[in-house]
Amino acid sequence: MAVIDGIVIILYFVIVLVAGVMFSRMSSRNLKSYFLGDLRIPWLGLAISGSVATFDVTGTMWMVTVLYLLGMKSWWHHWMWGVMLPAFGLAYMGVWVRRSNVLTAAEWMITRFGDSTAGRTARAVYALMAVITTVAFIGYAFEGIGKFANVYVPLEQFADKVPFARHLLTEHAYKTWGVFILAFTTLYVVLGGLFGVVLTDVIQTIILTIAAIIIAYIGWSQVSPEALARAIPPGWESIKPVWRIAELHGTQNAYYEMFGFLTIAWVMKGILLNAGGPGQLYDFQRYLAARTPSDAAKLAAAWPFFLVVRWAMVAGITILALTGIASVTDPELVMPTVLNKFLPAGLRGLIIAGLLAAFMSTFSATANSGASYIVRDIW
C-alpha cells in the first residue's frame, strides 16, 4: 500500500472520531438520548444509517464468495434476511413498532404479548438472545476485518522491528488488526451514542457509494462480455433455482448441492422473519428512534435504495475475480485480492477507507443496539 493510501485512511479515521466526539454531550442526557437520539433524528438519516449498517466488509466478502460460487442463483440466498423487510416495514411493522414508545425490541415484547408472565418471559428471552447475538456478530465482523486489513498491510513485515511483539505480528496478524480496528470503533460509539452513529453512518455512506461506483466501473470497463462468457461455468448467469447443483458434489461447498430445498427454506424463513418483526437488532432501534410512526414507515421504504450500489460493487469484484485471478484458493480472500491487484495508489486508499467504513458502520450499529438490551432489559 502506497503512502497516499495510508494518508487517506488516517484522514478518514480522524473525521469519524471527531464526529463521535461532537455528539458526546447531546447523547449523555439520558437513555433515550443515547440509544434513540432523543427522537430528533430525521427519518432519512435513520434509513441511511440502517442501510449502511448491513453494508459490512465480512458480509460483502461473503456475498462475493456466494456469487462467485453460485452465480445469479445466489440471489435466492438473500431471501433469508431482508428482501421482504421494506414491504412489511412500510405496510405495518414500522408504525406498530414506533407506536409502542419503548426503548428496545425486548421491551417491545410487552407491547406484543402483554404485561403478563408470557410477555415478561418473552422479554427476558429476547434480551438474552440479543446479547448473545451481538457477541456473535462482533466475532463474525472481527474475523472478516482482520483478514481484510492484513492483505493490505501485512503485520508480518514489522516483526523484526518489534521483536517483543513478534508472536502477535506473525502467528496472530489478522487478529491483531481486528483488535485494533474494533477498539477504535468502540471509542466513537461509546462517545457519540446514536447521534454519533447516525452522523458517521451518513459520512460512511458517501464514501462507500463512491467506492462502490468506482469498483463497479472498473469491473465493467476491464472485462468484455465475451471474456466473461468464457470465464463463467454453464448456468452461472441464470437466476432460475434448480433442485441440485451437481458440480458442487464432493467439494468444500457441497452444502449448497441440494439447492432447491435450501431455496424453499430461505424464502420461508425470510417471510416469517419479517412478518413477525424487524429482522436485525439495529432495525428495531431505527424504527423506535423515528420522530413519528409515519416516519418509521418512510424509513422502512427508503432503506433498500441505499444498498443498490453494494450489489454493483459485488458484481464488479466477482467479474474481475472470475476473469483475472486463478491463484486465490480461499474464497474469502477474493475481494481483498481483487482490490489489491486492480486499483491504483490513492484510489486504493479511498476504497479501503470505504470498506473500513462498511465494517465500522455495522459494528457501531450492533454495539450500540446491543448495549441497550444490557442497560434496559438485563441490568
Rounded to an integer, what distance in angstroms lies between the CA atom of residue 191 and that of residue 194?
Answer: 10
Among residues 226, 227, 208, 206, the alpha carbon closest in space to that of 216 is found at: 208
> Which percentage of the chain shows pLDDT scores above 90?
3
pLDDT in tens, 192-234: 677 777 887 788 788 778 878 888 888 888 788 888 888 888 8
* pLDDT exceeds cutoff 80 at 46: yes
CB atoms within 10 A of CB 36: 23
Q: Which helix (H) or strand (E) holds 11?
A: helix 3-22
User: Cα dihedral angle (318, 365, 38, 129), rounded to 10 degrees?
Assistant: 130
DSSP string spanning 17-60?
Answer: HHHHHHTHHHHTS-HHHHHHGGG-S-HHHHHHHHHHHT--HHHH
> Which percentage of the chain shows pLDDT scores above 70?
85
The answer to whether the CB of 331 falls within 8 A of the CB of 68 is: yes
pLDDT in tens, 128-186: 888 888 888 777 777 777 777 777 777 777 767 777 676 776 777 777 777 887 787 77
Report pLDDT for 222. Answer: 79
The answer to whether the CB of 50 falls within 8 A of the CB of 240 is: no
Rounded to an integer, what distance in angstroms lies between the CA atom of residue 362 and that of residue 58?
Answer: 10
Report pLDDT for 294. Answer: 92
Once rounded to an integer, what is the mean pLDDT over residues 301-315?
85
Full residue range of the structural domain in which residue 274 is found: 3-378
Rounded to an integer, what distance in angstroms lies between the CA atom of residue 349 and that of residue 4?
Answer: 7
The three three-digit cell numbers of residue 345, written as one number: 495508489
The three three-digit cell numbers of residue 116, written as one number: 403478563
* pLDDT exceeds cutoff 90 at 2: no
pLDDT in tens, 260-272: 898 999 889 888 8
The answer to whether the CB of 4 falls within 8 A of the CB of 349 is: yes
Rounded to an integer, what distance in angstroms lies between the CA atom of residue 241 and that of residue 236?
Answer: 11
* pLDDT exceeds cutoff 60 at 327: no
pLDDT in tens, 270-302: 888 878 776 666 777 888 889 999 999 999 888
Q: Which residue type sits at 64? A: V
Q: CA torsion sign, 105 to 44 to 63 to 354?
A: negative
Once rounded to an integer, what is the mean pLDDT over residues 24-32?
66
* pLDDT exceeds cutoff 60 at 325: no
Report pLDDT for 295. Answer: 92
* pLDDT exceeds cutoff 60 at 331: no
Report pLDDT for 298. Answer: 92
Once rounded to an integer, what is the mean pLDDT over residues 333-362?
71
pLDDT in tens, 106-137: 888 888 888 889 889 988 988 888 888 888 87
The answer to whether the CB of 303 falls within 8 A of the CB of 49 is: no
pLDDT in tens, 93-109: 888 888 988 888 888 88
User: Cα dihedral angle (169, 174, 179, 183), rounded to 10 degrees?
Assistant: 110
Rounded to an integer, what distance in angstroms lies between the CA atom of residue 141 and that of residue 59?
Answer: 8
Tell me how many domains the chain contains: 1
* pLDDT exceeds cutoff 70 at 1: no
Report pLDDT for 326. Answer: 45
The answer to whether the CB of 145 falls within 8 A of the CB of 176 is: no
Report pLDDT for 44. Answer: 92
Report pLDDT for 264. Answer: 92
Q: Which residue type sits at 206? A: I
Once rounded to an integer, what is the mean pLDDT over residues 4-24?
75
3-state DSSP assignment of residue 83: coil
Rounded to an integer, what distance in angstroms lies between the CA atom of residue 50 and that of residue 61?
Answer: 19
Among residues 132, 122, 82, the alpha carbon closest in space to that of 102 is found at: 122
CA angle 346, 351, 354 (to 5 degrees): 130
What's the mean per-residue pLDDT of the chain?
79
Among residues 216, 201, 144, 208, the alpha carbon closest in space to that of 354 is found at: 208
Return the half-sphere exposure (C-beta side, CA atoms, 13 A cut-off) of residue 321. 28
Q: Which helix (H) or strand (E) holds 162?
A: none
CB atoms within 10 A of CB 119: 15
DSSP string spanning 127-152?
Answer: HHHHHHHHHHHHHHHHHHHHHHHHHH
Rounded to an integer, what distance in angstroms lies between the CA atom of residue 309 and that of residue 287?
Answer: 23
* pLDDT exceeds cutoff 60 at 248: yes
Rounded to an integer, what distance in angstroms lies between the CA atom of residue 346 and that of residue 23?
Answer: 30
CATH number at residue 9: 1.20.1730.10
Report pLDDT for 121. Answer: 92
With 0.95 as the threshold, say if the pTM is over it. no
